[in-house]
A and B are shown apart, each in its own frame.
Chain A
Amino acid sequence: MSLTLLEPGMLTSVQDLGRFGFRNLGFSTNGAMDTLAAKTANLILDNPESAPVLEYTLTGPTLKFHEPAAICLTGGNPVATLDNQPVDSHTVISIQSGQILKIGSLRSGCRGYLAIKGGFQLRETLGSCSTYLRAGIGGLEGRALKENDQLKFTPMSSQESLKHEVSLGLEFTHYLEEPKSTLPVRFVRGPQFSWFSKQGLETFLNQPYSVRPDSDRMGYRLSGEKIVSQHSESLITEGATSGAIQIPPDGQPIILMSDCQPTGGYPKMGNIISVDLPRVAQLKPSDTLIFQEVSIEEAQQELIEQRFSLNRLSIAAKHYWKRIQDEYQ
């Protein structure tokens, strides 16, 4: 059971939710940038939410399927067609053997995801299929995908194949709100918050910052009004995590992302809250954002509520797939 990449798209790589347990040995976690989109795609297909998915950037791949499959597209909203017929995101797309799925450019957002029912068959490296580009491990040969790459996937059961004679379009979108790109990006104070002058803080909290073109999976580099520090000493390298808002001496923030190193030496104004980080991952170069401070209590409450809504999505999807199976028994 496999598919072939006729066109690779831009920086298309295999990612799951990350490689954990090795940060103390200097490893990055890697993993999907928009973890919410990756989880949603998998849950809609009744896969484990941490199953590997394809992540592409701005432009998606063109894929030829050699066997029937059910897939789901999430993340940014692509112009996608199946044998030239438009297909939607956040829904189950049934694909027949020989069909070609062309995922074009994104109408909104920066990263798109493709999950496949049953999951891709890939060997894990240190407990994860996430591609670690800098170390050359994980995913497919530790690299971004290229033309003519083949990816194997787990065959579906016969009932599930049968149902693909009819096209099904079940919308799951109402379970999860569409990302709103104009909302402020919320953060909680970091350990060096007090290092910044009153004026520095005022700048940070009130001025918009735009995404620089050299932003990538390691970090989002922002440009805007300089954030002034009142602290003259440099920071002793300490732990960092994706979502950390570092302020280097030039006063231009860097938001650490999925491929970031586990430690860093720049002072941290704060950390973007987990539920807002996927929205940052969907910002494109020259998009702007505004920061807003929230309490740790609020940040964690939001995350717990998101967990509940993902659990509801998972239950709904399980019911859906069970019904499909029952219909053909």
Chain B
Amino acid sequence: MNHPCQCSPLGDSALLLSFGNQISPQINQKVHAAAERLRQARLDSVIELVPAYTTLTVYYDPCRITSGQPYEMIKEQVLNRLQNLESKKVGTGKLIEIPTCYDKEFAPDLEQVAKHCQLSPEEVIGLHTSATYDVYFLGFAPGFPFLGGMNKKLATPRLENPRQKIPAGSVGIAGEQTGVYPLATPGGWQLIGHTPISLVDFEKESPTLLKPGDKIRFKAISRSEHQEMETLR
């Protein structure tokens, strides 16, 4: 049998499927394709599936597996479903636009990032808005996307002293990553902009704007557009 992944236990109630050992869109697509397969398989004992960069975690209830040794049973069931896995189709794969205001007021670290990257602030905004980013997975906090696809020219280290509170909607850069904060949290990201749209709504059945496997683009908006969108919320 040709299995696309390695399988190991993550305690007695989860298993970890590993599809490779580097961060790449191709490997991450396999992760999402596997998640989709297993979602459709609706295995009785499976509680939930959590994708990450190169892995898919399958949480299950061993007490619901009544015959055989639970780990061996679930491993077999899962691996059987993942044969001949195609990596083409990725989740919903929706393209979502994040309107972002890069005005000074919302971008306390834009100058610093530009300086570090030896670019002008306009060039930073240009590079940041011209890429399409893959939502590799959500983690850290509700709705927080781990994005791939940032131009390496924008890579900037985190702040030496993290901020006590970063407002919800902040768009930032940390190392080779860019991201957007759905909730106000402490953090060390370099802040280069702010989106007026909300990324998480706990009252909705589907509480986050972004899903693993989506794609996003940042679209530059003016201060007045930002203000207008914020009042519409």
Q: Flag if A24 contacts B11 (CB, 8 Å).
A: no
Q: Give the size range of A's interface with the partner.
A: 35 or more
C-alpha gap A205/B56 in the complex (Å): 29
B227: interface (CB < 8 Å): no
CB-nearest residue of chain B to A305: B63
Contact of A262 among B50, B56, B208 (CB under 8 A): B50
Interface window among B124-132, B135-143, B159-167, B189-197: B135-143
Q: Flag if B142 contacts A25 (CB, 8 Å).
A: yes
Q: Flag if A236 contacts B137 (CB, 8 Å).
A: no
C-alpha gap A169/B60 in the complex (Å): 37
Known contacts A261-B139, A300-B69, A300-B70: A23-B11 contact under CB 8 Å = no
Q: Flag if B63 contacts A303 (CB, 8 Å).
A: yes
Contact of A22 among B11, B35, B142 (CB under 8 A): B142
Residue of A190, A244, A262 ringed by the most chain B CB atoms within 10 A: A262
A191: interface (CB < 8 Å): yes
C-alpha gap A126/B71 in the complex (Å): 29
Distance to closest chain B CB from A257 (angstroms): 13
Q: Flag if A25 contacts B183 (CB, 8 Å).
A: no
B146: interface (CB < 8 Å): yes
B47: interface (CB < 8 Å): yes
B198: interface (CB < 8 Å): no
Q: How many A-B residue pairs have CB under 8 A?
A: 140
Q: Flag if B141 contacts A236 (CB, 8 Å).
A: no
List of B residues within 8 angstroms of A237 by Cβ: 52-53, 139, 146
Interface string of A1-32 (1 = CB under 8 A from B): 00000000000000000001111111100000
A156: interface (CB < 8 Å): no
Q: Give the size range of B's interface with the partner.
A: 35 or more
Q: Flag if A239 contacts B71 (CB, 8 Å).
A: no
B112: interface (CB < 8 Å): no
Q: Flag if B22 contacts A236 (CB, 8 Å).
A: yes
Q: Flag if B71 contacts A22 (CB, 8 Å).
A: no
Contact of A135 among B16, B51, B59, B142 (CB under 8 A): B142
Distance to closest chain A CB from B135 (angstroms): 11
A263: interface (CB < 8 Å): yes
C-alpha gap A206/B138 in the complex (Å): 37
Which residues between 270 and 329 of chain A lie within 8 Å of chain B, taking CB atoms? 270-274, 296-297, 299-300, 303-304, 307
B13: interface (CB < 8 Å): yes
Q: Flag if A188 contacts B11 (CB, 8 Å).
A: yes
List of B residues within 8 angstroms of A126 by Cβ: 202, 205, 207
C-alpha gap A303/B141 in the complex (Å): 30
Contact of A26 among B8, B35, B208 (CB under 8 A): B208
C-alpha gap A137/B208 in the complex (Å): 14
A134: interface (CB < 8 Å): yes
Residue of A26, A126, A135, A238 ringed by the most chain B CB atoms within 10 A: A26
C-alpha gap A241/B51 in the complex (Å): 13
Interface string of B176-216 (1 = CB under 8 A from A): 00000011010000000000000000100101100110000
List of B residues within 8 angstroms of A243 by Cβ: 11
C-alpha gap A238/B182 in the complex (Å): 20
C-alpha gap A253/B199 in the complex (Å): 33
Q: Flag if B9 contacts A263 (CB, 8 Å).
A: no
B85: interface (CB < 8 Å): no
Known contacts A188-B11, A237-B146, A307-B63: A26-B52 contact under CB 8 Å = no
Interface string of A157-195 (1 = CB under 8 A from B): 000000000000000000000000000000011110000
A148: interface (CB < 8 Å): no
B218: interface (CB < 8 Å): no
Q: Flag if A25 contacts B138 (CB, 8 Å).
A: yes
C-alpha gap A24/B22 in the complex (Å): 20
Which residues between 52 and 104 of chain B lie within 8 Å of chain A, taking CB atoms? 52-57, 59, 62-63, 69-71
Give 5 closest A-B pairs by Cβ, nearest first.
Answer: A239-B57, A271-B11, A263-B139, A26-B138, A299-B12
A-B contact pairs, 6 of them (CB 8 A): A20-B47, A23-B50, A134-B185, A191-B18, A240-B57, A263-B137
Interface residues of A (CB under 8 A from B): 20-27, 125-126, 134-135, 137, 188-191, 236-241, 243-244, 261-263, 268, 270-274, 296-297, 299-300, 303-304, 307
